Amino acid sequence: MRNFLIFMVALSIFSGKAVAQRSCAAEEVLAQQLLNNPEMRQIRENIQRHTEEFMQSGAVHERTVVTIPVVVHVVYYNSAQNISDAQILSQIDVLNDDFRRLNSDASNTPAGFLGVAADCEVNFCMAQQDPNGNATNGIVRKSTTVNGFSTNDNVKFNSSGGSNIWDRNKYLNIWVCNLSGGLLGYAQFPGGPASTDGVVCDYAYFGTINSTPPFHLGRTAT
């Protein structure tokens, strides 16, 4: 798990720049969090230094495929936003293909990334047990009176019309909702608050079923 976390830190550093043209607000969210919590800058610097030291160490570790349980919080104002189980599962399929480098367009990898493109040995699956130990399909559906969320993380709290996070140390939390301002989604960078850790995607650009072109291939979440 430690190796996976280091990988995810490195991935987030690169992906933040790569998705800028897709109306991703991750950098905006990071800037606001740094403003609200100046100590976070030092935390991020420590994480980055640790990551660089690990990468430069050349240490060889046993290769183990890590499986991450996912909980998808569907926060909907109307029936269109209450996406189907099939649409959600199609997104998990894309995540698995991309992280295992089984995606059909792997041959189109830009030349600059060919040297590092690889099977990350990370799988994603829908959570089968909720934080209370009850059986679940990994999908939380929450009706809301909010028709458009922004980057203020309100979608992540019951008290503001959203859905509370599940333990970030045990689950990958993804919130699917209607995002205002033309945003496709955003994610929190390493070092951020535990109560808001996860990914937010607009319902219209999540998965490959009933999603809206040209962002209908599930790559917004990736």
**Residues spanned by the domain of 119:** 2-205
pLDDT at 27 (0 to 100): 66
pLDDT in tens, 16-45: 334 434 456 666 766 676 677 777 677 667
**Domain-located, residue 157:** yes
More confident residue, 197 or 25: 197
Pairing of strands 185-187, 199-202: antiparallel
Would residue 214 count as lying in a domain?
no
139: which residues sit within 8 A by CB, 6+ positions away?
A: 71, 72, 74, 85, 88, 126
212 inside domain: no
Range of weakest confidence among 31-45, 55-69, 111-125, 177-191? 31-45
Report pTM. 0.77
**Any domain includes 69:** yes
Does 215 have pLDDT greater than 70? yes
Q: Which two tokens stand for residue 140?
A: 């939380």
Return the CATH number at 35. 3.40.390.10
Backbone φ, ψ for residue 58 (5° rounding): 70, 15
Q: Residues 185-192: what's their mean pLDDT? A: 82
Residue 222 lies in a domain: no
Average pLDDT, the chain: 83
Q: Which pLDDT belongs to residue 23?
A: 59
Q: What average pLDDT score do residues 69-89 get?
A: 98
The tally of domains found in the chain comes to 1
Does residue 211 belong to any structural domain of this protein?
no
> Does residue 213 fall inside a structural domain?
no
In a domain, 221, yes or no: no
Six token digits for residue 83: 């996406």
Tokens of 186: 């955003």
d(CA 178, CA 159): 17
| Measured distance CA(175)–CA(167) in Å, rounded | 14
- CA separation for the pair 4, 9 (Å, rounded): 9
| pLDDT tens per residue across span 114-158 | 887 888 889 999 999 999 999 999 999 999 999 999 989 999 999
Q: Which residue has the tokens 């929190």?
A: 188
* DSSP 3-state of 66: strand
Least confident of 51-55, 196-200, 217-221: 51-55
Which residues does residue 175 pair with via DSSP β-bridges, in sequence order?
Answer: 73, 200
Percent of the residues in the chain that have a pLDDT greater than 70, as a whole number: 79
